[in-house]
A and B are shown apart, each in its own frame.
Chain A
Amino acid sequence: MRWLRKNLVVIAGLLTLAYMILPNAVVMVFSFNRPNGRFNYSWQRFSTDAWKDPCGVADLCRSLTLSLQLAAWATLGAVLLGTMIAFALVRYRFRARGAINSLIFLPMAMPEVVMAASLLTLFLNMGVQLGFLTVLIAHIMFCLSFVVTAVKARIMSMDPRLEEAARDLYAGPAQTFLRVTLPIAAPGIAAGGLLAFALSFDDFIITNFNAGPSTVTFPMFVWGSAQRGTPVQINVIGTAMFVLAVLIVVTGQLIANRRKKTATA
């Protein structure tokens, strides 16, 4: 009983973790399923067919490529614009700072469906053809605020004396930025970029509103298949991405640990 009381937090925490991991486990297990009907919701029998032919469903891999391209461009755009804003906010004094801060905060405090619907009214009113570009515009818009927040935090924790030291040591403004500011701000920019990539890649609601009929991203494909029939291949893709992400993080961690060890030795 005492043991239970002492470890209550641990038990509760691990239960939550189980709740969070359970669907991933299901996705993984069902990637080896051979369903009877069109829907992959109940277990029938073991099969590796889907793993042998992940692109075997029409349009699935095309939608995946489209999503990756979209996320890459959206990340680039959001990182570029967001980093500039973050530097201006931390390093300079200017008018209307409060208004600009609100403009950056609001997209994060807005239900996605509101942004999605209002952006669609803009495009409809302007007579813009919906397609890859309209989706890209939307993705950059909602990723921007998150990048600003991530980069701003990093720049704020950066010692301004480092840049002064560079200027004192004969580095002009451009050199100072390239050799000192950018390398030190890099982790923040990388974090913002990673977040933007993940948000864009996984976005459904805004994409659903602002995509044309030919711009089927991966989430749109999954949504469509939930209506028409879910191929096992989407579980394969989901599992592969999950495993890949964990592997990347774990190897990154291992490399960092080893580097730390050799450095102190």
Chain B
Amino acid sequence: MSATPTTEAPPVDGPVPRRPATRRRLVPYWLLLPGIVWLLVFFALPMVYQASTSVQTGSLEQGFQVTWHFRTYWDAFQEYWPQFVRSLLYAGTATLLCLLLGYPLAYLIAFKAGRWRNLLLVLVIAPFFTSFLIRTLAWKTILADDSLVVDALGALHVLDVTSWLGWTEGDRVLATPMAVVCGLTYNFLPFMILPLYTSLERIDTRLHEAAQDLYASPATTFRKVTFPLSMPGVVSGTLLTFIPASGDYVNAELLGSTDTKMVGNVIQSQFLRVLDYPTAAALSFILMAIVLFMVTVYIRKAGTEDLV
């Protein structure tokens, strides 16, 4: 036997540790460098500038100075709190509606569509390719006074109820909160459906059979098996809907009225028309803080209680 089975035989002069070349250890940093610098300079640094702008005072003509004028925050919030409330309310309602409308469609595509699955997916994504502004303008036609949809809602006395709730005004839908929420829901539905579909599609259909075999009715199967397993999709879908909806000003501008302005509209007009940079920066900062806080709490809650 020429093989020598020595299990423990360190070399005579002891183990010589080898080290990978330092050049190879630097590779990840070189890969990260350009992209991360881009994000630092054009995403993180602007946040710092914005923070600094929000505590400046002055005027466009004489220039702005940092005076640590925190009152801007208080003034801005006091003047525009209805817009903040509206933003959160509209975005929250739209997110809930997206979930209620989107779930059946995602479920349909994932489990019931069969060979139609790809066609349905294309139909969900295809509207993206028509500019969302053009599509939002189409709602102006759909919800116009005396349009088919509005007449039908009126005939069914739906508008009586919504008017009583304050969502619409008389027999008008356009330029009311309902029109804005309707537009928001429409605009962000694909962002709800796609993550929902992805997480539903991953579910092994044999789990449904197993649940029904173990005496679960279809409703119980959904409540105890399907829905909990689709939670990752629900969480990312609601986030992808709520976050952009809360800062949106396009729908409120095109479909709403002065009474449906959201905080995005205020930031936009303060920045681009009134040119009151400190107030705009403070409003933007408050919005960011609220959204980040809500997102963090939501992820925590969804992550620890519902996901497990």
Chain A residues in contact with chain B, CB under 8 A? 9-10, 12-17, 19-24, 26-27, 30, 41-42, 80-82, 84-85, 87-88, 91-94, 100, 103-104, 106-115, 117-122, 124-125, 137-138, 140-141, 144, 148, 198, 201-202, 204-205, 208-209, 218-219, 222-223, 226, 230, 234-235, 237-239, 241-242, 244-246, 249-250, 253
Chain B residues in contact with chain A, CB under 8 A? 27-29, 31-32, 34-36, 38-40, 42-47, 49-50, 53, 101-102, 104-109, 112, 118, 120, 122-142, 144, 186, 189-190, 239-240, 243-244, 246-250, 254, 264, 267-268, 271-272, 277, 280-281, 284-285, 287-288, 291-292, 295
Chain B binding surface SS class = helix
The complex places the Cα of A203 from the Cα of B264 at a distance, in Å, of 15
Q: Shortest CB–CB separation between residue B173 and chain A, in angstroms?
A: 14
- A16-B268 contact in complex given A103-B44, A113-B287, C-beta closer than 8 Å: no
Q: B31 and A121: CB pair below 8 A?
A: no
Q: A114 and B138: CB pair below 8 A?
A: no
Q: A226 and B133: CB pair below 8 A?
A: yes
For B141, give its contact among A30, A226, A238, A250 (CB under 8 Å). A30
CB within 8 Å: A-B pair count: 248
Q: B105 and A107: CB pair below 8 A?
A: no
Q: B287 and A23: CB pair below 8 A?
A: no
The complex places the Cα of A26 from the Cα of B147 at a distance, in Å, of 12
Q: B133 and A198: CB pair below 8 A?
A: no
The complex places the Cα of A22 from the Cα of B295 at a distance, in Å, of 32
Q: Shortest CB–CB separation between residue B98 and chain A, in angstroms?
A: 10
Q: Shortest CB–CB separation between residue A59 and chain B, in angstroms?
A: 15
The complex places the Cα of A187 from the Cα of B56 at a distance, in Å, of 48
Residues of chain B within 8 A (CB-CB) of A19 are 101, 186, 189
Q: Shortest CB–CB separation between residue B72 and chain A, in angstroms?
A: 14
Residues of chain B within 8 A (CB-CB) of A250 are 122
Closest to B236 in A: A108
Q: B288 and A21: CB pair below 8 A?
A: no
Q: A16 and B104: CB pair below 8 A?
A: yes
The complex places the Cα of A27 from the Cα of B139 at a distance, in Å, of 9
The complex places the Cα of A185 from the Cα of B280 at a distance, in Å, of 43
